[in-house]
Amino acid sequence: MKKIIDRTFHYIESLCKILLIVQIISVTIVVIGRQVFGRTPVWGEELTLFSMVWASLLGATVLLKNDGHIAVTALDRYLPDKAIKALDLLSYLFLGFYAVIMVIYGIKLVELTGLNMMPALKIKSSWLYGAMPVMAVAMLVILSEKIYLLLKGKDYKL
């Protein structure tokens, strides 16, 4: 199971890199179009928004997997290992609760925006907002693995 999760998140990380490159190219085209030609392509800002939202939310899951988020660890030196693990478990449970809320309301948002179109890209707005439930499900997968490893007493800092 760990190999499947690791491979999936490797692909997610690669997708984030591609989306960042798309965003950079799109912004460059918009800026050059505005400054040099006095016109911007109609799709430029929507494509930038789309790639930014997806890269940001998927990138957050990669950070969670790699423990890259900001954390307050100043007291960890003074606390026993059991207390640190209990606090980590509590943190994971709160994040899991947050992710469940994001899945529920993210799906509702996708359904709500299913009829709206992004005019320049000619795709449904739900593709933009679909990043939220996808990110939340990915978070739940990571948190499940971290909680399982923590409770088994294995190294849960992936």
Q: Tens digits of per-residue pLDDT, 122-139?
A: 999 999 999 999 999 999
Rounded mean pLDDT, 108-128: 94
Length of the chain in terms of residues written: 158
The model's pLDDT over 39-72, given as tens digits with 9 standing for 90+, comes to: 999 999 999 999 999 999 999 999 999 888 877 7
Per the listing, tokens 């179009």 go with 33
DSSP codes joined into one string, 111-138: HHTTT-EETTTTEEHHHHHTHHHHHHHH
- Give the C-alpha separation, 32 to 78, whole Å: 54
The helix/strand count (H/E) of the chain reads as 5, 2
Is the Cα dihedral 56, 61, 65, 69 positive or negative?
positive
Cβ neighbours around 44 below 10 Å, total:
19
In one letter, which amino acid is 93? Answer: L
Quote the pTM value. 0.88
